[in-house]
Amino acid sequence: MTKLKAELPGPIVPRSRRPKWPLVSAITFFATWSAWLCLFAPSPSLPLSERRIRQHSADSEMCVQTSPLIPQKNGSLWNNLTTLHATDDFLARAISQLSVAVQIPTETFDAMGPIGEDARWQSRGSFVDHLEKSFQLLHSTLALEKVNTYGLLYTWQGSDSTLKPILLMGHYDVVPVASSSVDQWTHPPYSGHFDGEAIWGRGSLDDKAGVIGMMMAIEVLLEHKFTPSRTIILSFGFDEEAGGYQGAGHLAPALLDRFGPNSLAMIVDEGHGYSERYGSVFAVPGIAEKGSVNVEIEVQTPGGHSSVPPEHTSIGILAAIIVHLESHAPKSTLQIDTPVFEMAQCFAAHGSTMPPAIKRSIGRARGSIKDLKAAEEHLVQDRMFRALVETTQAVDIISGGVKSNALPEQAQTVVNHRIATQSSVNATLSRDTKLVMDLARKFNLSVTAYGELLTPPGSTYGSVALRAPQSLDPAPVSPISAPPFRVLAGSIRTARNTAAGGRGGGVRCAGALTALLDTRFYWPLSAHIFRYGHRNLLDGTLGGIHTVNERMSQVRFLPFSSGADSELMRADVRADAFVEIITYFTALILNADEAEL
């Protein structure tokens, strides 16, 4: 098994014999003073490049990076495959595969009927048939189990049964294309059109690129006679865009029944790719997911004719509750030892344009509340970062009333919360209950929260009820110091470096948070779950995911290193961003097969 190599400081040399105290004091004093001078107040005579190197070294200790991980046992195979990936013929083959997959509109709608009754599920059958025809060697080698009709479980049996399997995930359903937006697309949304620079269409990024990229990587490995030592499982859901209850909700229990709890070495699902932050390129594999709960709030008051209205109708009272909730929104608080804090440390360690004062504050935050608050104040100015730090709330649905001249007897709203990793469902529900209670007293309402009557019986004007029919606590945090994360990070860096012709090694990996994905059904199967799709998002557009003009962008921005700083360079290259995804899956499969997980 290949030992993983990390960019770590040099070895620690043990002391021989404890010296006498006065000598220790003198040595400690001069060593501390010298270190302070070197790191924090370098002499003007010290060359600028050396000062940058020293500072870069000190910063990097906050976010140690795994070196690009190149397969060793299968080194010759890796070289042959990457050479193949660089050819025009392979490029054309990859484009064709993704293009045809996009042309099958596997749309998922909310509130779809049962499988077998709702005809909208049938598009999945066409897609599965396409996979079987397009990847014949894969289907003749891997065992396929169809779960709940359209869920796909592939098993590539390894030669060593003592090794824990790895699981690679994806989903092949897509969000619908609104009929009113079709004419806004540059190319029709299900054309799979390739214009020389991009493959256009719904699913070209989310997530048919992941599914097809994975299957192409395996098909080509089989063509080159590769047999894994470690069993590899593929799990493809078909309704992730509506919560995954029919797909992943059945696939995960099937795996749990077969293998048992904590039986998989690692799980890798879709997720964010790599993009520019603070002047450097970061890949951000999700190591955790925020929790989620929808709080339904319903106000009931007496009805009547609107010509004789009360001071406040149910709609008016509900409006006051909503305003009260939004006026007391959860506060953004950066906390150490959370995935968001670890990500901030990576930005500080490797972000070339982050202000030096903020870098220092993040570096000292573990031991200084003042520095932690300074870092927080800067970071939460970014709306996206603020949303990661806090438990969010969004009033998404409101309804009430039936006629203009009839007093509304009921009014309802739904408040969606995404729960920070340091919080919980119970804490979120308790907070909402307290805020509603404040207003209930003012309007003389009884309060029932999640089935429990909280106010004493007596004469009230009306009632307010809180319900939370579905909730999910934040996901367990996957460790970034363990071998599975290092295999992932090393494979990401290798794929980027290979695709960029040796100039992409500057990409850094920072553990991050993601939105709720299918992985929430798989938590019992492994302590090492990661959400990462090797998408190139350097142009800042997110490739049109979930909106008009979704496309697999083909013109890349290549990162390269210049001394201690990372810069970006626009490069007009061949249409091979999708090929880079295939290279990434190839590296991940080969590296996981060799590593001690």
The residues that are catalytic are 173, 240
Please state, in angstroms and rounded to a whole number, the distance separating the CA atoms of residues 292 and 312. Answer: 32
Give the contacts of 539 (CB within 8 A, at least 6 positions apart).
553, 557
Please state, in angstroms and rounded to a whole number, the distance separating the CA atoms of residues 149 and 87. Answer: 38
- Amino acid, single-letter form, for residue 579: V
- Amino acid, single-letter form, for residue 411: A
250 annotated to bind ligand: no
DSSP assignment of 364-404 equals HGGG-HHHHHHHHHHHTTSHHHHHHHSPEEEEEEEEE-S-T
546 annotated to bind ligand: yes
Going along 458-524, which residue ranges are E strands? 462-467, 471-472, 508-509, 512-514
Q: What is the DSSP letter of 406?
A: B
171 annotated to bind ligand: yes
- Amino acid, single-letter form, for residue 333: T
Please state, in angstroms and rounded to a whole number, the distance separating the CA atoms of residues 25 and 458. Answer: 74
Please state, in angstroms and rounded to a whole number, the distance separating the CA atoms of residues 105 and 124. Answer: 9
272 annotated to bind ligand: no
Burial class (CB in 10 A: 0-12, 13-18, 19+), 454: middle
Q: Which residues of 315-353 are buried (b: 16+ CB within 10 A; e: fewer)?
A: bbbbbebbeebeeeebebbbeeebbbbbbbbbbbbbbbe
Helix orientation angle between 483-499 and 577-594, rounded to the nearest 10 degrees: 140
Confirm if 166 and 214 have CB atoms less than 8 A apart. no
Helix orientation angle between 577-594 and 88-102, rounded to the nearest 10 degrees: 100
269 annotated to bind ligand: yes
Confirm if 456 and 473 have CB atoms less than 8 A apart. no
Please state, in angstroms and rounded to a whole number, the distance separating the CA atoms of residues 310 and 586. Answer: 68
Confirm if 550 and 198 have CB atoms less than 8 A apart. no
The residue length of the chain stands at 597
Bridge partners of residue 453, in order along the sequence: 448
Q: Indicate the annotated binding residues.
A: 171, 206, 241, 269, 546
Q: Indicate the annotated binding residues for Zn(2+).
A: 171, 206, 241, 269, 546
